[in-house]
Amino acid sequence: MDQVVDYKIVKSWSLSASLFQKDRILAEKAQRYPNAKLEFKAWLNPGFLERTMSSRPELAGVRTALKGSLLLIFTTIISALPVGIGAAIYLEEYAHKDHWYNRAIQTNIENLAGVPSIVYGILGLAIFVRTLGAFTSGAAFGIPAETGRTILSAGLTMGLLILPIIIINAQEAIRAVPISLRQAAFGLGATRWQVIWSHVLPQAMPGILTGTILAISRAIGETAPLILVGASTFITSDPTGLFSSFTALPIQIFNWTTRPQDTFRNIAGAAIIVLMVALLSLNAFAIIIRNRYKKKTI
C-alpha cells in the first residue's frame, strides 16, 4: 500500500527574496528548519485556478471566486447597460433642457457618479437583500433560499454603482454625433426614433462601449458593496445561477491579506494577478468589439 505524505509549509519567501537573497534563505533554512525540504513553488499555476477555497493555503484556489466574479460582471452589465443607454437617449434627444426637473435629473446623475461605493452597498442591502429579498433569493419563483444575499442582489447593486458612469459617457457619445446627420435624416422624412436607432446610436456606440468598459473596470475591483450585500469569505461550492450564494475575487483577496500567515499573502498576490488578467482580458474584448463596430459604421 502506498503511503500518502501530507506535507506542511512552515515558511515561505517572496519571489524577489528567492531570486536575490538565496544565501540568506539557505542560512535561515539550515538554522531554523534543518529537516525541512526547500523547494521553489509557483503559487499561480493551473491548479490554483481549478481548486476551491481551503483553510490550507497550499490547497486553496480561486475557481469559486472566479466564477462568481464572471457571473457578477454579466449580471451587472445586463442590469445597467440598457437602462443607462435609455436614460442617455432621453436626456439628450427627448428631454427639454430648460425644464427644471430635467436639470435636476442631470445634476443628480453627475453627483451620483462621485458617491462612495459603500453607500451603494447600503442601498443594495436595504432594497435588494431585505425589501426585495423574496425576488432576489428566488423564493418568489419556487426556489428554496434563506436570504436575498445572492449574485442577483450583488449584480443589481453593482449595476446601480456603474449606472451614472454609463449614462454620462453615453450622453457624451450621443452629443458628439454631428447635428447635420440628424438634420439630413429628418429632411428625408425619418421619425425621431428612426433617426436615433439608425443614425445616432450606430455612430455613438463606440463611445458608449468605451464608457461601459470604464464603468466595469471600476465595478470589478469593488469590495465594500459586495461585503454589505453578503458575499461569502469562505465558500467551497461553485455558483449555479443568479440565486446562488457567492464570493468574488476582491473578497478572496481581502480575506487572504488579513490572515497572519505569509503563505496566505502569497496566494493573495496570485489572486491579484488573476484579477488583473481578467480585467485586462475583459477590456481587450470590449475594445475589439468597439473597433469592429466602429469600422462598420464608418
pLDDT digits (tens, 9 = 90+) for 87-142: 999 999 888 878 888 889 889 999 998 899 999 999 999 999 999 988 888 888 88
Q: What is the mean pLDDT of residues 30-48?
A: 75
pLDDT of residue 220: 85
Q: 58-178+206-297 maps to which CATH number? A: 1.10.3720.10
More confident residue, 216 or 292: 216
Query: Mean pLDDT lowest for which of 15-19, 217-221, 288-292?
Result: 15-19
What pLDDT, on the 0 to 100 scale, is given for residue 152?
A: 92
Q: What pLDDT, on a 0 to 100 scale, did the predictor assign at position 2?
A: 43
Predicted confidence (pLDDT) at residue 3 exceeds the cutoff of 50 = no
Q: What's the pLDDT score for residue 189?
A: 87
The average confidence (pLDDT) of the chain is 84
CA distance linking residue 229 with residue 147, whole number of Å: 10
pLDDT of residue 5: 47
Give the per-residue pLDDT at 83: 95
Residue 24 binned pLDDT confidence (cut-offs 50, 70, 90): confident
This prediction's pTM: 0.82
Residue 265's pLDDT band (cuts 50, 70, 90): confident
Residue 298's pLDDT is 56
pLDDT at 71 over 80: yes
Query: 205-241 pLDDT, tens per residue?
Result: 888 888 888 888 888 888 888 888 888 888 888 888 8
In percent, the amount of the chain with pLDDT more than 70 equals 90
Does 9 score more than 90 pLDDT? no
pLDDT for 133: 85
The reported pLDDT for the residue numbered 294 is 65
CA-based nearest residue to 49, from 278, 293, 289, 297: 278
Residue 163 contacts residue 88 (beta carbons within 8 Å): no
pLDDT for res 1: 39
Residue 38 confidence (pLDDT) above 80: no
Of the pLDDT bands very low, low, confident and very high (cuts 50, 70, 90), residue 295 is low
